[in-house]
Every structure is written in structure tokens, then in C-alpha cells.
């Protein structure tokens, strides 16, 4: 009964460049169709199971709305309610759910959990965020940058703050894959995962672009086309909040720092944001910010992921 040849969406780094381009094109087409009021019932009768071990507003609602817009259905499964939360194994949960649904999305803590879940599931698995990666968000970010700037290759992204963070990691992989320069401004102790950084730098070198790290936000943000940050304490790090706020205070994205970016820079943040911490109100609510378009684009990016994964399943 088990299906074979399924493909998962766990990291941006695992995508071929062509697959990334196809996803972006598909997302743009699905967005256009939606805006024009055209129906897109590509996944009629298909069911997506969504397991959440952490909170979510955007990911949950956009996947659920997206499945409906594609003619399918989505099930929200909180780990508090299903037997996974009471100790049923990832193996058994993946095997059982694969018998009911056509695709699974999971938001969890350790990245190894999703790798194991994907290994045992017989249907495609989508990463709805782990401690290490947030690839569905970065697909939406790339779509947003492309809409605003008309291109990706050759632009410079600057990420500031907690570099050892799921957003920073997926952005590193996304920037390298899309041929964008990227700079990361982060202090000692908050540097990206060394393996992810090395992989992204290798990919960037192939494309002739550069990924640089530095502790000086003024230097790193210089000439950036896109300025991105994320919360200083991610989900699961609540106990470290006080220390993180102190350690990262010099990396706040504010108006005076942004003067060093390009005049027409774009500001992105995956949300939820902590105004007054990683970013000031003036920036996130200011004229350069595209955070709500970015949030909207989750919907269209997710539909593209679902369509591509499910149309490829035999």
C-alpha cells in the first residue's frame, strides 16, 4: 500500500536551483489566479495533515486556507491532542497518518525529528519550522523580494541579530541558491550553524556571490537591497530571553542603521515581531517594510509547494 518516490520539502538547501525557480514561478502564477478570482482545484480530494508542536498563526492558517483554495482539505493536529504528545513514536505516527492523508506538514523542535518523520512517512513531508530551518517562510521571502525588486540574482541581503536561528539558516541557503549576496551581522555566540554556513558559502562561490559574516552591523548592512531580522528569542528559548536581549541589543534594525542600506531597501521580518527589540516601530511600520505582503505570500508559496509535491507523487 505504501507509495514510493515521494519527495519532501525539508530545507531550501536540498532543492535544485531549477526546483526553486519552478516553485517561485508556480507561487506567482497561483497568486495571480487567486487575485483574478480563478479557481485552482489542483488538489481536489487531497488531504494535508498538519502537526504542530509549537504555536503558529501564519503557517497554520495559510496552509489550511491554501489547501482549501486548491480544492483539498487540511487537518490541524496539535501535539497536545494527538497521541504523539503522550509518547507515541514518530515512527508509528508517520506510518499511521500516511494511511489517511496525502501529505504531512510538521512544526517541531529538533531538526532530526522531522528527518526521522520524513523517513518513516510514506507521503511527502513539509517542514513547517524546526529549530534549525524555516524553509516555507524563506520561499515566501524570496517571492516577496522578486515581486518588489524584479529579480533575485545579484541583490544583497543583510540579516541582523541571532545568526544561529532557523530564519538565518534558511535565508543563507536561499540566498546562495538564488545567487544573492548575503551578509550576516551577529555577535560571538550567535553565529550560524557552521555546517549550514559552509554549505551556503560553497553554493554561493559556485554562483560567484559572496556570503560574509561580521560583528559590525554598520559594515554588514552597507548597500543592502534587503534588510531582514527575526526575534532574538525563538520558540523554545523563552528562558534565555533576558540574556539574549542584552547580547543582541546592538543589532537592532532602526532608522539610523538603515540609512546605510540602499535608499530603496526592502525590510522583511517573518513575524511575529517584537517591536522595540529586534526592530523599531519606525522601520517595521515604515515605508520600506513589506512584512504583510511577505506574510500573504506564505499562502501562495505553500500552495506551490503542495502542488509540486503532490503532483509528483506516483
Beta carbon nearer to ligand CP, 57 or 249:
57
Known binding residue 271? Answer is yes
DSSP state at residue 249? G
Binding partner of 282, given ligand CP, ligand NVA, none, CB within 5-8 angstroms per partner class: none
Q: Per the residue annotation, which of 133, 169, 269, 298 is the catalytic one?
A: 298
Helix 135-149 to helix 17-35 angle, to the nearest 10 degrees? 70
Task: Report what 98 binds from ligand CP, ligand NVA, none; CB cut-off 5-8 Å by kind.
Answer: none
Choose the catalytic residue: 60, 111, 133, 134.
Answer: 134
Q: Residue 235, interface with ligand NVA (CB under 6 A)?
A: yes
Residue 105's binding partner out of ligand NVA, ligand CP, none, with CB under 5 to 8 Å set by partner kind: none
The alpha carbon dihedral of 246, 252, 255, 257 has a sign of positive
Q: Which of 146, 162, 270, 300 is catalytic?
A: 270
CB of 238 to ligand CP, least distance (A): 14
From 102, 230, 277, 296, residue interacting with ligand NVA (rule: CB under 6 A) = 230
Residue 107 bears catalytic tag: yes
Judged by CB under 6 A, the number of residues near ligand NVA is: 9
Q: Residues 60, 107, 269, 300: which is the catalytic one?
A: 107
Q: Is 137 a catalytic site residue?
A: yes
Residue by residue, DSSP assigns 69-86 as HTT-EEEEEETTTSGGGG
270 scored as a contact of ligand CP (CB under 6 A) = yes
DSSP state of 192: P
Helix ranges, 150-181 (H): 166-178
**Contact indicator for 190, 248 with CB cutoff of 8 Å:** yes
Quick one: 216 exposed, middle or buried, by C-beta within 10 A (0-12, 13-18, 19+)? exposed
To which H or E segment does residue 111 belong? helix 111-120
| 201 annotated ligand-binding residue | no
Question: Would you tell me how many other CB atoms lie within 10 Å of the CB of residue 249?
Answer: 12
Helix (H) or strand (E) holding 160: strand 156-160
Residue 260 interacting with ligand CP (CB under 6 A): no
Task: Rule CB under 6 A: choose which of 75, 271, 282, 313 binds ligand CP.
Answer: 271
Q: Does 57 bind ligand CP (CB under 6 A)?
A: yes
Q: Binding of ligand NVA at residue 130 (CB under 6 A)?
A: no
C-alpha neighbours within 13 Å on the C-beta side of residue 202: 7
Other beta carbons within 10 angstroms of residue 22's beta carbon come to 14
Assess 234 for contact with ligand CP (CB under 6 A). Answer: no
57 binds, among ligand NVA, ligand CP, none (CB under 5 to 8 A by kind): ligand CP
- Contact set with ligand NVA (CB under 6 A): 129, 165-167, 230-231, 234-235, 270
Give catalytic residue positions.
107, 134, 137, 230, 270, 298
Amino acid at each position: 500500500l505504501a507509495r514510493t518516490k515521494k519527495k519532501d520539502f525539508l530545507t531550501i538547501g536540498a532543492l535544485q536551483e531549477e526546483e526553486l525557480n519552478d516553485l517561485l514561478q508556480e507561487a506567482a502564477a497561483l497568486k495571480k489566479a487567486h487575485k483574478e478570482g480563478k479557481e485552482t482545484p489542483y488538489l481536489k480530494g487531497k488531504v494535508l495533515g498538519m502537526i504542530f508542536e509549537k504555536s503558529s498563526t501564519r503557517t497554520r492558517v495559510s496552509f489550511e486556507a491554501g489547501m482549501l483554495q486548491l480544492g483539498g482539505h487540511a487537518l490541524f493536529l496539535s501535539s497536545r491532542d494527538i497521541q504523539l504528545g503522550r509518547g507515541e513514536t514518530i515512527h508509528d505516527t508517520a506510518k499511521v497518518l500516511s494511511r489517511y492523508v496525502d501529505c504531512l506538514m510538521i512544526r517541531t523542535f529538533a531538526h532530526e525529528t522531522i528527518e526521522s518523520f520524513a523517513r518513516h512517512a510514506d507521503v511527502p513531508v513539509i517542514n513547517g519550522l524546526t529549530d534549525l530551518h524555516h524553509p516555507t517562510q524563506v520561499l515566501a521571502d524570496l517571492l516577496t523580494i522578486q515581486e518588489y525588486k524584479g529579480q533575485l540574482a545579484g541583490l544583497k541581503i543583510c540579516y541582523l541579530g541571532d545568526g544561529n536561528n532557523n530564519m538565518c539558516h534558511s535565508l543563507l541557503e536561499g540566498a546562495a541558491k538564488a545567487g544573492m549576496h548575503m551578509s550576516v551581522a551577529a555577535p560571538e555566540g550567535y553565529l550560524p550553524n557552521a555546517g549550514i554556513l559552509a554549505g551556503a558559502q560553497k553554493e554561493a562561490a559556485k554562483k560567484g556571490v559572496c556570503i560574509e559574516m561580521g560583528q559590525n552591523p554598520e559594515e554588514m548592512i552597507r548597500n543592502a537591497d534587503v534588510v531582514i531580522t527575526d526575534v532574538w528569542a525563538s520558540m523554545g528559548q523563552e528562558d534565555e530571553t533576558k540574556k539574549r536581549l542584552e547580547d543582541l541589543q546592538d543589532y537592532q534594525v532602526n532608522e539610523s542603521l538603515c540609512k546605510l542600506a540602499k535608499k530603496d531597501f526592502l525590510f522583511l521580518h517573518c513575524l511575529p515581531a517584537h517591536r522595540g527589540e529586534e526592530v523599531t516601530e519606525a522601520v517595521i511600520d515604515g515605508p520600506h517594510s513589506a512584512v504583510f505582503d511577505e506574510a500573504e505570500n506564505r499562502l501562495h508559496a505553500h500552495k506551490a509547494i503542495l502542488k509540486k509535491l503532490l503532483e509528483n507523487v506516483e
